[in-house]
Amino acid sequence: MSKLIPAAERLVRARKLIQQARALPVPTEGLGKSDFSYIANVRDLLRQAKDMVKFIPQTAGVSAEMKEEVQKIYSEVEQAEKEILSS
């Protein structure tokens, strides 16, 4: 059985995944930011960040502040995707 990760830890891990997506090196050869492999890796990291926090708001006993943090994570993911993948 897998170990449960507390909601606060999930938020921290989601932000680390967003940072990893931002830190992913842009390919210098080929298509650069338009490289399909690069785009797939960025989107995968951002998807993992969203998946890390998506069930927090539906969990019983979660505070309103925690739900606000989840919404901030979603906003950060959207903003990061725009910043990273726009040419």
Q: Residue 56 corresponds to which tokens in the numbers above?
A: 């927090």
Task: Give tens-digit pLDDT for 20-73.
Answer: 999 988 887 877 777 888 999 999 999 999 999 999 888 888 888 999 999 999
74 closest CA partner among 31, 18, 33: 18
Sequence-distant (≥ 6) Cβ neighbours of residue 34 within 8 angstroms:
87
Cβ–Cβ < 8 Å for 66, 56 = yes
Tokens of 24: 């992913």
What does the alpha-carbon distance between residue 25 and residue 64 come to, in Å, rounded to a whole number?
A: 36
Tell me if 5 sits within 8 A of 51, measured CB to CB: no
Predicted TM-score (pTM) of this structure? 0.86
